[in-house]
Amino acid sequence: MKHIYILLPFVIGFSTLAKAQVDAVQKLDEVVISDTKLIDYANGIKIEILSDSIINNNRTSLTGLLAFNSNLYFKENGFGMVSSPSFRGTNASQTAVVWNGININSQLNGQTDFNTINTSNYNSIAIRSGGGSVQYGSGSIGGSIHLNNNLSFTEHFKTVLRTGYGSFNSKNLGFNSAFGTKLYTGNVAVTYVDSNNDYKYLGTDQINENGAFNNLNLNANLGFYVSNKDIIKLYHQSYFGNRNFSGTLVGPSRSKYEDENFRTMLEWARTSGKFSSKVKAVHLHELFKYFENKDKANFSLGSVNTLLVNQNFNVSFSDKLQFKTILEYSNTKGKGDSFKAPVRNAFSTTALLNHKLSNVIRYGINLRQDFITGGERPFVFSVDASFDLFEHYQIQINGSKNYRIPTFNDLYWQPGGNLDLVPESSYQIDLGQNFSYPHLNVKLNGYYINTKDMIQWVPNNTGIWSPVNIGEVASYGAEIEVKSHYTINKHQLHFSGHYSYTVSEDLETNKQLIYVPFHKGNLNLAYGYKRFSMFYQHLFNGEVSIIGNSLSSYDFGNMGVSYVFNQNKKVNYTIDFKLNNLYNTYYENVALRPMPNRNFQIQTTIKF
Amino acid sequence: MKINKLLVLALLTSIFITSCSEDSDDNPVAPKGDYENGLIISHEGNFGQGNASVSFVSDDFLTVENNVFSNVNGSPLGDTAQSITFSDDLAYIVLNVSNKIEVVNRYTFESVATINTTVINPRYMAISNGKGYVTAWGDFSDETDDALLVIDLTTNTISKTIATNYLPEEVIAVDNKVFVATGVFGYGNLVDVVNTDSDVIETTITVGSAPNSFQLDANNDLWVLTSENLVEINTTSNEVEQTLSFDDTISSPSHLNFYNGDFYFYAGGSVYKQDATATSITAEAILSGLNFYDMSVDNDMVYGVDAKDFSSNGDLVVYNLTTSALINTTTLNIIPGGVYFN
């Protein structure tokens, strides 16, 4: 497995286990990522990067990947259904999902459904903890998840074919081809996932009878050097999802949900000495059709198209001082059965500064001013710093103001939409300590987040549900992340674990918010010997309060084994076998929605 | 999302609907069960969250028990308890999202049967001619599958489906007929009249927008409260006798009650009293500053339920009808939505 942590200013890479040799080529590449500010302007920010081989153990679902490999907590309306995170005790609309630098949260509900993101389409997935509205805009309050496609300008031609089959008639197919020279590069990928998802509800005679889903992803990313200073890049992703929505133990369901997302970004990057600039044009499209009854043709529709232009300009005055400005304009148009045809224009200006004051201290100062249709002008800022106090010890600190603008649903939903809403605003502070030794990395973080003017839907005096700015929530907690790696002869051992203690209180009632566990933890153990590797992962989710009640804590484990045939030849094959919910544990992640019993997955991968 | 819309709709529509199934008890000598001589409060719970429940509150308010159904039967009641209808020793609990009707003994709450085949979005029930009549929306998004389900009460199965106008809600039995209010907030203004000998719709009466509650007066005339008026219907001729329109001082009236020769209804945080003999709306507020999700009037009291913010436990709030004094406040469960006398 390969984990990369960014403990700026160090970049420490662990690369290993069975797939290390395959990945080795990639490590040497000149890799271009689209979102450089994720790394360059984040001295005091906790960032965890999950690489290919970690992703491989939780392929197809971003929910599963992050639940086992980060401090995030997820609530999932049954396996494969709508899934939303709570990042540091914040709500589902307060985590931004960022695709190659662009915030892709839905304009309709402000969220990204983590079960619509197929992890195998990305080279790396990064978890950036804490506020990021200056860099990533609305909704970056608890943190942000970054989906990155890298482009490598080296001679290569690599193709990967995957097929998988598992319990509940689950099938997946994947094709990925990456190619390039020093002048151009590209990769294309197609993934398809299909499952009857009709698992048994343990201890009952019921099954998950309306849970079938399938989705198709198409990805294409291209880059060309048009001169030795200019690169043109094109990123595209299409997603087509088709899901039945599961019911609960006491409420059957017959509904179906179809959704599609198209994301396209054209980018021109120019680097000239100390200066670099990028111009990006982006089109984002989201559409859903909700069928109350999957056997009937009636549905309700919502769709949004966003056009966005972004220009940024970076100056490196020296290797110690960098400055970046960003101008962004977006035009968002919605259309749907429950709202008419709202339009939103937004303009923002951003300035980022990063300074290495000494070998010990680096800091950043970041400002952003937005101008949004309707007169809202949120101003946000952040400051962050890192202190490399000792050889193995670093302190990171950051403070920020962040915001979330009302969504189209909040503003225009009929009936109930409220045009008088103001953006949610949030202040936070985060302190991190990082211990890094050759075989051990430990991160400890403590944070405090106060969010005001929370947008909540409540019944008004005529009984119609309508959103208002009422809530004030304080979230605070502590996180620990431990990673350890040993190589003894040809034996490789890897351990990682996360634990978080989270308090998230409604300041009016002084009660913990529903669906925020005080305790959440996970651990991963991996062992590799030559061509063989295996892993075990375990997740603990503490008790959560739900409306009028509480939902029990649970823990469960998965394990997998993997073997590579023909390892160092041109064509190699890998077989993975994975057992999920090893102990056949009954658990509900959301009340009355049982999760799958023990199940298996077998996967073959051919690389050439 | 549409789910939200449905949720919002489902929740807001139930605001305008009252419970009107009061049954007069015979006077039992021996106790028939733990839940006699008190109030039965149905709780919708949160739409889709499966936390519907029933509470019992004794007449003297001293004994209170929440989650009666699950306490007695050891299983959850279901999702979104819309209404309860009583008949002899039985109570029929209509569970909207669970698509079922739980039949229990009204005094012991022991489960007797579950009616759940081909029931989609059931709402209310009435008993006529020894048969049960359950209004059922079918799919909300389909205007052609709305129906009155006829229940064979000996087998607890559906014996017939009668197509109705869009969104059938309250249903009331009068002699050998049932009257079905159709429409919810923003939709519909019709009352379907079904002959329960033949089980066919004999006529449809136009009333005001979104008819939300029914009451029979002393002359067996049916009064229909809608968002815009109070309509009197002769239940023999099916003719409208008179229509009393509201002016803009009272908006979205609901929860019509008839007690001791007067009407009581709820609108905008107040309980209004309307003389049943008046030929226009003369209603005056007798209680104000309320937040009722449902109310029933009896025993010289107003029994209201306050669902609060729909995520904390609601209250039963009882006022004296003549003195307007607050008699009792009892905290119950999530989203109390119906008050019945047992």
Is A298 close to B1, i.e. CB distance below 8 A? no
pLDDT band at A222 (very low <50, low <70, confident <90, very high): very high
Class of residue A341 by CB neighbours under 10 A (exposed 0-12, middle 13-18, buried 19+): exposed
Query: How confident is the model over A316-338, as a mean pLDDT?
Result: 95
8 Å CB contact between A478 and A129: no
> How does strand A95-99 pair with strand A143-148?
parallel
Lowest-pLDDT range of A21-35, A164-178, B161-175, B317-331: A21-35
Task: Give the pLDDT of residue A52.
Answer: 78
Q: Which residues contact A420 (CB under 8 A, 6 or more apart)?
A: none
Q: Report the gap between the CA of A379 and the closest CA in chain B (Å).
A: 30
For the segment A193-205, what is each residue's pLDDT rounded down to a tens digit? 999 999 999 999 9
**Three-class DSSP category at B73:** helix
Residue A39 host element (H or E): helix A37-40
pLDDT exceeds 60 at position B188: yes
Q: Which residues contact A528 (CB under 8 A, 6 or more apart)?
A: A1, A16, A17, A18, A491, A492, A493, A494, A534
CA distance A482 to A492: 17
Token readout for B174 is: 């009068």
Task: Give the pLDDT of residue A26.
Answer: 32
Residue whose C-alpha is closest to residue A138's, from A91, A94, A84: A94
pLDDT exceeds 80 at position B28: no
For the segment B31-54, what is each residue's pLDDT rounded down to a tens digit? 788 999 999 999 999 999 999 999
Is B51 close to A549, i.e. CB distance below 8 A? yes
- Whether chain B has a CB inside 8 Å of the CB on A446: the answer is no
Is A592 close to B50, i.e. CB distance below 8 A? yes
Q: Distance of CA A160 to CAs A26, B91, B166, Å?
A: 14, 63, 55
Q: Report the gap between the CA of B265 and the closest CA in chain A (Å).
A: 15
Burial readout A4-19 (b: 16 or more C-beta within 10 A, e: otherwise): bbbbbeeeeebbbbbb
Task: Give the pLDDT of residue A471.
Answer: 84
- Whether chain B has a CB inside 8 Å of the CB on A459: the answer is yes
pLDDT exceeds 70 at position A232: yes
- Cis status, amide bond into A438, omega within 30 of 0: no
Query: Of the candidates B50, B186, B251, which has its C-beta nearest A251's C-beta?
Result: B50
Q: What count of CB pairs under 8 Å joins A to B?
A: 109
Provide the percentage of residues in chain A whose pLDDT is more than 70. Answer: 94
Is B1 close to A461, i.e. CB distance below 8 A? no
Is A251 close to B141, i.e. CB distance below 8 A? no
Which among A81, A292, A339, A458 is the top mutation candidate for probing chain B, defined by the most B β-carbons within 10 Å of its own β-carbon? Answer: A292
pLDDT exceeds 90 at position B182: yes
Half-sphere exposure of A286 (CA within 13 A, CB side): 20
pLDDT exceeds 70 at position A21: no
Half-sphere exposure of A264 (CA within 13 A, CB side): 6
- The amino acid that residue B105 corresponds to is N
For chain A, give the mean pLDDT: 91
Tally: H helices and E strands in chain A: 6, 38
Is B141 close to A296, i.e. CB distance below 8 A? yes
For the segment B48-68, what is each residue's pLDDT rounded down to a tens digit? 999 999 999 999 999 999 999
For the segment B277-301, what is each residue's pLDDT rounded down to a tens digit? 999 999 999 999 999 999 999 999 9
CA B167 to chain centre: 15
Please report residues of A whose CB lies closer than 8 A to that of B186: 415
DSSP state of A406: P
Provide the percentage of residues in chain B whose pLDDT is more than 90. Answer: 86
For the segment A505-531, what is each residue's pLDDT rounded down to a tens digit? 999 889 999 999 999 999 999 999 989
Identify the structural domains of chain A with CATH numbers, from first to last: 2-607 (2.40.170.20)
- Confirm whether the ipTM is greater than 0.90: no
Task: Give the pLDDT of residue A30.
Answer: 65
Is B12 close to A465, i.e. CB distance below 8 A? yes
pLDDT band at B22 (very low <50, low <70, confident <90, very high): very low
What is the chain B residue with the closest CA to A295? Answer: B139
For the segment B251-276, what is each residue's pLDDT rounded down to a tens digit? 889 999 999 999 999 999 999 999 99
> How does strand A361-372 pair with strand A343-356?
antiparallel
> How does strand B157-163 pair with strand B147-152?
antiparallel
For the segment B66-86, what is each residue's pLDDT rounded down to a tens digit? 999 999 999 999 999 999 999
Task: Give the pLDDT of residue A18.
Answer: 31
Task: Give the pLDDT of residue B29.
Answer: 58
Q: Which of A31-45, A56-70, A342-356 has the highest mean pLDDT?
A: A342-356
Task: Give the pLDDT of residue A9.
Answer: 26
B309 DSSP β-pair partners: none
What is the chain A residue with the closest CA to B311? Answer: A547
For the segment A89-115, what is each residue's pLDDT rounded down to a tens digit? 999 999 999 999 999 999 999 999 999
Task: Give the pLDDT of residue B27.
Answer: 52
- Whether chain B has a CB inside 8 Å of the CB on A514: the answer is yes
- Whether chain B has a CB inside 8 Å of the CB on A413: the answer is yes
pLDDT exceeds 60 at position B130: yes
Is B50 close to A296, i.e. CB distance below 8 A? no
Which among A250, A410, A510 is the top mutation candidate for probing chain B, defined by the most B β-carbons within 10 Å of its own β-carbon? Answer: A250
Task: Give the pLDDT of residue A16.
Answer: 28
Q: What is the pTM of this model?
A: 0.89
Residue whose C-alpha is closest to residue B119's, from B141, B98, B144, B90: B98
pLDDT band at A342 (very low <50, low <70, confident <90, very high): very high
